[in-house]
Amino acid sequence: QSALAQPPSVSGSLGQSVTISCTGTSSDVVSYNRVSWYQQTPGTAPKLIIYEVSSRPSGVPDRFSGSKSGNTASLTISGLQAEDEADYYCISYTSSSTIYVFGTGTKVTVL
């Protein structure tokens, strides 16, 4: 089971929007609405920011949104803030024996 594909980095200016893609296969992203997104800053544990493609846990700002089309899930950060600078990972349930597969991770830089 290969990792889901994410761009290594994306950047945007304060207040702009950025979108991170997460590309999978028919074994995972295509077939299941079980895609989550995590935010991680250096030296800390990951934080859940989107679950089941587009739902937000309580306390997560609504500038974070998720969607899915075909084999690609996406995380959009609208109105980019300085504190959004972090690494972001997608993860999906997969029908393989592994059951979960993470994405390769994307570093978001706020210019």
Partner 1 sequence: EVQLVESGGGLVQPGGSLRLSCAASGFTFSSYWMTWVRQAPGKGLEWVANIQQYGRDKFYVDSVRGRFTISRDNAKNSLYLQMNTLRVEDTAVYYCARDDCRGGNCYPNFEYWGQGTLVTVSS
The span from the CA of 29 to the CA of 100, in Å, is: 11
Site membership for partner 1, residue 97 (CB under 8 A): yes
By CB under 8 A, residue 30 contacts partner 1 = no
| Closest by Cα among 24, 27, 51 to 37 | 51
24 in contact with partner 1 (CB under 8 A): no
State the nearest-atom distance from the C-beta of 79 to partner 1, in Å: 24
Q: How far is the CB of 97 from partner 1 (least distance, A)?
A: 7
Burial 59-81 (b: 16+ CB within 10 A, else e): ebeeebbbebeebbbbbebeebe
User: Quick check: 109 binds partner 1 (CB under 8 A)?
Assistant: no
Among 39, 68, 93, 110, the residue binding partner 1 under the rule CB under 8 A is: 93
Q: Does 36 bind partner 1 (CB under 8 A)?
A: yes
Query: In this complex, which beta carbon is closest to partner 1, that of residue 26 or of residue 98?
Result: 98
Reported in sequence order, the residue ranges of the chain that DSSP labels E, i.e. its strands, are 9-12, 18-23, 35-40, 47-50, 64-69, 72-77, 86-93, 100-102, 106-110
Q: Which residues bind partner 1 (CB under 8 A)?
A: 1, 3, 34-36, 38, 40, 45-48, 51-52, 57, 87, 89, 91-93, 97-105
